[in-house]
Amino acid sequence: MSAPTRRRWREWYPLVVLVFGLLGFRTAVADWNFVPSGSMEPTLLVGDVVLTDKRAFGPALPVVNRVLWRTGKPARGDVVTFYPPGTDKLYVKRVVGLPGDVIASDGVRIVVNGEPVALDVDRVVGLAADGTEALGEQPHAWRISRGGSAPAGQWSVPEGHYFMMGDHRDNSVDSRRFGPVPADRVIARVSRVAVSFSTSWPFVDRVAHRFE
């Protein structure tokens, strides 16, 4: 290696190490994604940047978001990033149905395998309402705002698939429209809000909350 080449290598070496270190971290440990819509309100808001845990389901390449190998499976109630069938646009929703489940909904309430999920209404303002739902191990918030325009029906979840829904029940394009999501298109579990450019508050409370 010539002297000029060695000199250039010494100059670029720190940047190369930084780039590969960051790529490795985002592949195997954690990544971050912007929340583009209000479909997960009030849990996640437009302008939030969420931190995702790549250790939950397996390492996944950043940007292209392809899982290299599986180390775990989503649980009911998890907030996850995934690609819906037929699109390469990354979504963020909540896992409602597991493989083999039968999911029913009237647009707001959820019934899993014939058992209604416990739901409380905390606040009603006109046609809008906020409440709490006991899905999975941690209760979470939900919202309606358009007077029940969400799809209603019953869906069977095939083996190797998951049923996703947004917490903003009548403002969410989810599995009620595009169907169950294949397991190999589920990328990572959302662990927390890392930072937010949303004008809604209380931001500090949401950053402190963990979704696991």
Residues with catalytic function = 39, 93
User: How buried is 22 (Cβ within 10 angstroms: 0-12 exposed, 13-18 middle, 19+ buried)?
Assistant: exposed
| Separation of alpha carbons 175 and 34, rounded Å | 21
Greatest extent of the chain over all pairs of C-alpha atoms, in Å: 75
Instruction: Using only the alpha carbons of the chain, give its radius of gyration.
Output: 20
| Separation of alpha carbons 97 and 111, rounded Å | 10
Question: Partners of 135 in the beta sheet?
Answer: none
| Separation of alpha carbons 178 and 199, rounded Å | 31
Tell me, what DSSP letter sits at residue 68?
S
Reading the block at residue 77, the tokens are 């109630």
Do you know the residue count of the chain? 212
User: How buried is 199 (Cβ within 10 angstroms: 0-12 exposed, 13-18 middle, 19+ buried)?
Assistant: exposed
| Separation of alpha carbons 197 and 53, rounded Å | 21
